[in-house]
Amino acid sequence: MIIKLDRAYEVKCSLGTIRDIESAYDKSFFELVNDITKMKTEEQIKLLYIGAKKADNTLILKEFTDKCEEYMGLGDLMDYLEKYFYGLQYPGLSDEEVQNRIEKKLQKSRELQRNRDLIG
């Protein structure tokens, strides 16, 4: 995934990144996803930084945060976080492929719920 600030920053989306995120926050990845709206902007930027640092180990948090604050708006941050979370779950897939997978999972979930309602 690429974040465009003063330049393009690669953000690594892999299980290793998820492990680093969980270690930094001492929470599971899915707990963090559920709590994202409760996090301060600084913590949300740090989530992106962890993936960017994984791609470029010379990157410094303060510099990355400064660039985010200078070049990003809140809507941009939310868009990047959404794309990041999808990328961490489905690395290497296009946005369209991710959406197709999510739609299939939602459809399957609705079918299971209908079956439970019919049985129960």
pTM over 0.95: no
Asked whether residue 28 carries a pLDDT value surpassing 80, the answer given is: yes
Average pLDDT over residues 31-37: 90
Asked whether residue 120 carries a pLDDT value surpassing 80, the answer given is: no
Residues contacting residue 95 through CB under 8 Å, at least 6 positions apart:
83, 86
Side-chain-facing half-sphere of 69: CA atoms under 13 Å: 10
pLDDT interval class at 107 (50, 70, 90)? confident
Asked whether residue 104 carries a pLDDT value surpassing 90, the answer given is: no
